[in-house]
Each structure stands twice: as structure tokens, then as C-alpha cells.
Amino acid sequence: MALDTRAIYITALKNTHALEMQALQIMERQIERLERYPEMADALRRHVEETHGQRQRLEEALSSLSESPSTIKEGILGFVGNMMALGHTPAQDEILKNTYANHAFENFEIAAYTSLLTIADAAGQGAHNTGFQQSLREEQAMAQRVNELIKPTTLRYIELTTAGEKADR
Ligand SMILES: [Fe+2]
């Protein structure tokens, strides 16, 4: 069955919305657990605020087309979801796994918004693209922030671990 570009656009909006809902869960869980890595916790806290705005932009675009977010939450993340699950398994190096997963997740979102913007243009549905470009810039900034945190986070993990202190999260 052939789908028209409007239907493709609506699917992309729903998928991106489900992705943001998953982002909120993943980040809030980490914020609750983080104790020894305040820079990562701060970055996540700021990005949770931004993500609420991103979610709202998607909801506005959906409601302007008389659509509502999908309630089906499975299957969006696939491979990245498996990586996120890794970070949820208690491990001595939980912080490292979550750092890798956060890096992957933000880059996944960059791809999702770049694709969404392309689909919106192709569908002649550019009315919300200014907002989605803002969301894309926020994802790029967060991806950059996580990237910058890889090294200091790893060094702190080493320092805490070798001192016999709590280092996992
Ligand atoms: Fe994000």
C-alpha cells in the first residue's frame, strides 16, 4: 500500500514524539540515580527542560493535523534501546555505559530531526519547521556537551574507582 507524503509526515511526527517520551524517561532515571557526577546530572537536567519544549512542538504539529501522539511506545529505538538497557543493568561502570548511551541517543535524535525536517519539506508541511530546527539545534548542543563530558567523566570514574570510592553512578 502506498502512503502519501502527509501520512509519512504524520508517522514521523508520532515516532519523534515517542522518541522524546523515551528520552525523558531515560534522562529522569539517570538524574535520580546520579550521585558522583554532577556535570552529567546538570547537563541532563537542562536537557530535560528542553525536551519538554520539544515534545510540545511535536504535539502542536500533530494537533494542527487533527492527530494525536501514538500510545504505542515500542519499537522506536531498536538498537539504541538495547544500548540504553545496558545502562540500566546495575554495574560498577554504570556511568560509562550511560555516557556512551547518551552520546548515541543524542545522535539518534539528530538523525530523527534531520529526517523529520526533510519529510516535512517533501510533504509541503513546513509550518512547524522553525520549531523543529530549534529542537535539532538543542539536540546538537546536547550531543556536543555529552561528547565533551566523555573524558572528564572517565577520568573521574578512574579516580574514584582507584581510591576505593563509590564510582558507579
Ligand atoms: Fe535530546
127 within some domain? yes
157 Cα: distance to centroid of ligand 1 (angstroms): 24
167 within some domain? no
pLDDT, tens only, 146-161: 999 999 999 999 999 9
In this prediction, residue 76 carries a pLDDT of 63
Q: Are 31 and 45 in contact (CB under 8 A)?
A: yes
Number of domains in the chain: 1
168 within some domain? no
55 within some domain? yes
Report, in this order, helix, strand and coil percent for the chain, each rounded to 5.
80, 0, 20
141 Cα: distance to centroid of ligand 1 (angstroms): 9
**25 has pLDDT over 80:** yes
138 within some domain? yes
50 within some domain? yes
Which pLDDT band, with edges at 50, 70 and 90, does 2 fall under?
Answer: confident
**81 has pLDDT over 90:** no
3 Cα: distance to centroid of ligand 1 (angstroms): 28
138 Cα: distance to centroid of ligand 1 (angstroms): 7
Task: Note down the domain range covering 25.
Answer: 5-69+76-162
pLDDT, tens only, 34-69: 999 999 999 999 999 999 999 999 999 999 999 998
88 Cα: distance to centroid of ligand 1 (angstroms): 18
169 within some domain? no
39 within some domain? yes
62: domain CATH number is 1.20.1260.10
Where does residue 75 fall: left (phi above 0), alpha (psi -120 to 50 degrees), or beta otherwise? left
164 Cα: distance to centroid of ligand 1 (angstroms): 33
Of 109, 92, 116, 90, the residue nearest 12 (C-alpha): 116
135 Cα: distance to centroid of ligand 1 (angstroms): 8
